Chain A
Amino acid sequence: MTLPEYNFAYLDEQTKRMIRRAILKGIAIPGYQVPFASREMPMPYGWGTGGVQVTAAILGPDDVLKVIDQGADDTTNAVSIRAFFAKTANVATTTKTADATVIQTRHRIPEAPLSAGQVIVYQVPIPEPLRFLEPRETETRVMHGLEEYGLIHVKLYEDIAQHGHIATTYAYPVKVEDRYVMDPSPIPKFDNPKMNGSPALQLFGAGREKRIYALPPFTNVVSLDFEDHPFEVQKFKQPCALCNATGVYLDEVVTDDRGGRMYVCSDTDHCETRREEGHHGPGLPISGAQTVKEDAA
């Protein structure tokens, strides 16, 4: 008998247990950042090692895993993480949001509503919403403990004074169950309303900063705002050029080298599913056009 060269889902059992305990505390205290002893993973931190560790701790052989990066299933990051778990945990993978039991994501929440029983795992670079206002961890802990969130409101209000509106467009802070202010990870604020009352369990992992936090299903998640400047999501003037979807988050893509541009769904599965259903937008067909995806952030 030859021993496998790696553990199931890569992590050793002691590490999984420690992460699992942190996940349960996170579920019991929605929006609170639970410290955990992050492990080195065989990929760089920028690749979402916190999310990867959370996924590794929950994943079982019956799961169907979807991995997205900026909404797309086919970026290097998403493909690598999917391959990593297909190899180490032997799980089935999918690009279809509806077929996934576990969705690991960087920068987006799928357009298709999530359903009960699904788990979405966010890769988080900076979990502390107060970090840019207060660099000291001891201080931010005290601020969360005392619910001292005045500074973050001041920061948002300075936006309004300077730009006439709140300029923060991603990683837009939310308040959870009227208690903890939480960083939703660098999703566009367009996705913030999807977190509120979602029937899915939402887990957040930050590898470099060693934090795990969670939103149980049907948790109250409110984007911070002001009475005279209520929270608003981004609106797009045109539908998706490929599938004609409206009310979705669009990325601008370059279609040729003469400055041609179009706007298409950032959620590639959503876009493909709609096209399979027969929808098509003004930009179809574009045979031979080179599309270069731009960074949404």
Chain B
Amino acid sequence: MSTPNETRVEPASSGHVFEGGFADPVMDSQAVFRRVMNALAEPGTIADLAGFVSPPTPLSQATAAILLTLADYDTPVWFAKPENNDDAIGWMSFHTGAPRTADVFRASFAVLEKMSPVEAWSSFLIGTSDYPDRSTTLLLPVESLVGGEPLKLTGPGIETQTVIAPVGLPEGFVAVMAENRAAYPLGLDVLLVCGGEAIGLPRTTRIEEA
């Protein structure tokens, strides 16, 4: 990854963008990847991604660890509120080399805001019939991953069914995820993030109010 000898132009306000990345990029990214892989392979399980990075606000540890593990110059990252994320974007760019894109239709990853309006999600990439993998992965922050209204999950990765109960999902989330499921194999893959934890909701997962 980046070495201290590399020169990069950073926003003046972001002297600390160089700090807070992986202490051991090789081993930490491997550890985070396996947890994210398990989260997507077993939808509904909570992945512990805490303690790997110390990102600038408002990035959560989970979002930041996922970006540092998966993003690079091949994967444009879209921020819902770039005006609130100067430090976060500078930090992400320094540690990953990934470009921040303003074009939603180029985004490999989208860093959403809490209560992200789901009507806007139709602009993200859902892949094509030939290449359904050319799609956007959404990182959606919520208030909490537990303690909310129960949602029943079924689909690949789940033996029979499992229940999650996140707090602070956007209005219309269940309906938009049903549309997403109906578009399969095209679709968005979603990671719910809160603090240092994440839940994977790949496009195959059926989500119903329990």
Contacts and interface: CB of A to CB of B under 8 A. Distances in A.
Interface of A: 7-8, 13-14, 16-18, 20-30, 32, 34-35, 57-61, 141-142, 144-146, 177, 179-180, 199, 201, 214-220
Interface string B107-142: 010000000000000000000111111010100000
B83 interface: no
Interface residues of B, number: 40
Contacts, number: 111
Given A21-B75, A199-B159, A32 B70 contact: no
B130 A61 contact: no
A13 B1 contact: yes
A27 B41 contact: yes
B6 interface: no
Contact of A18 (B74, B133, B137, B189): B74
Interface string B23-64: 001110111011011101110000000000000000000000
B29 A216 contact: no
B185 A180 contact: yes
A13 B25 contact: yes
Contacts of B41: 27, 201, 214, 216-217
Contact of A21 (B27, B70, B129, B156): B70
29 contacts: A8-B27, A13-B25, A13-B26, A13-B29, A14-B72, A20-B33, A20-B69, A20-B70, A21-B75, A24-B37, A26-B133, A28-B133, A28-B203, A28-B204, A29-B204, A34-B133, A59-B30, A141-B130, A145-B128, A145-B129, A146-B129, A177-B156, A199-B159, A201-B37, A201-B38, A214-B41, A215-B156, A216-B157, A218-B158
A29 B185 contact: yes
